[in-house]
Amino acid sequence: MTAFLRSGVRATRLVICAFALPACLVACGTGEEELRAWMQQQRADIPVKVTKVEAPKKYEPYRYQSAAQPDPFGAPVIVSRPSSTLQPDASRRREALESFPLDTIRMVGRIASGNREHALLQVGDMVYQARVGNYAGQNHGRITGVTEGEVRLIELVQDAAGDWIERQAVLTLQLAAPQGSGK
């Protein structure tokens, strides 16, 4: 008897699904028609703006007719500039401070005796004395002035064309941090 009841339950479920499915589809269809009608109404209410597009301009190719001008597709013409007379002295003996980049050299003091002024320049743990005319840095930097607070240099560097040009540089006095400050 349980088998009979089970088959009856299945049959009842099938009958319910058979009638419920078309009813659901009919309900969906009515909402879709309303939606379509609303969309048609919205399309009709929107004003249409048509902007006139100008006709394209007629292309006229350029004709290169001058024999006096250089060929634009030929080999490039190299214009030579007179080279600069500035250049480092290769025969000069290099000084100790020329082994270090200028940004690693710090001015830590100045010594003045009579007419001579010497800058105290520190690199790492070593302190060097330098005066006007000495060289410092890896760009052939010649010291041109020593004052209480700075050392002025003129460096010789190469520009993009390979010519040597002068560049100004300054080392300013670096005050040491007090000991025990934690910095």
Answer yes or no: is 23 within a domain.
yes
pLDDT at 138: 93
Reply yes or no on whether the pLDDT at 83 is more than 70: no
Which residue type occupies 64? Answer: Y
The number of distinct structural domains making up the chain is 2
Answer yes or no: is 127 within a domain.
yes
Answer yes or no: is 83 within a domain.
no
pLDDT at 24: 62
Answer yes or no: is 75 within a domain.
no
Q: What is the pTM of this model?
A: 0.52
pLDDT at 48: 82
7-21, 112-126, 158-172: least confident range = 7-21
Q: How many CB atoms lie within 10 A of CB 150?
A: 15
Answer yes or no: is 33 within a domain.
yes
For residues 85-92, give the mean pLDDT.
85
pLDDT at 76: 74
Matching residue, tokens 């350029």: 62
* pLDDT confidence band for 11 (50 / 70 / 90): low
* pLDDT confidence band for 21 (50 / 70 / 90): low
- Label each residue of 146-182 as H, E or C: ECCCEEEEEEEEECCCCCEEEEEEEEEECCCCCCCCC
pLDDT at 135: 95
**How many Å separate Cα 183 from the centre of its chain?**
33
For residues 63-76, give the mean pLDDT.
75
**CATH number, residue 160:** 2.30.30.830
pLDDT digits (tens, 9 = 90+) for 126-161: 999 999 999 999 999 999 999 989 999 999 998 888
Reply yes or no on whether the pLDDT at 27 is more than 60: no
Answer yes or no: is 86 within a domain.
no
* pLDDT confidence band for 90 (50 / 70 / 90): confident
DSSP the chain: -HHHHHHHHHHHHHHHHHHHHHHHHHHHHHHHHHHHHHHHHHHHHSPP--PPPPPPPPP-------SSSPPTTSPPPPPPPPPPS----TTSPPPGGGGS-GGG-EEEEEEEETTEEEEEEEETTEEEEE-TT-EETTTTEEEEEE-SSEEEEEEEEE-TTS-EEEEEEEEEB-PPPPTTS--
Answer yes or no: is 81 within a domain.
no
Answer yes or no: is 2 within a domain.
yes
pLDDT at 84: 64
Give the range of the structural domain holding residue 104, as residue numbers without chain letter.
96-172
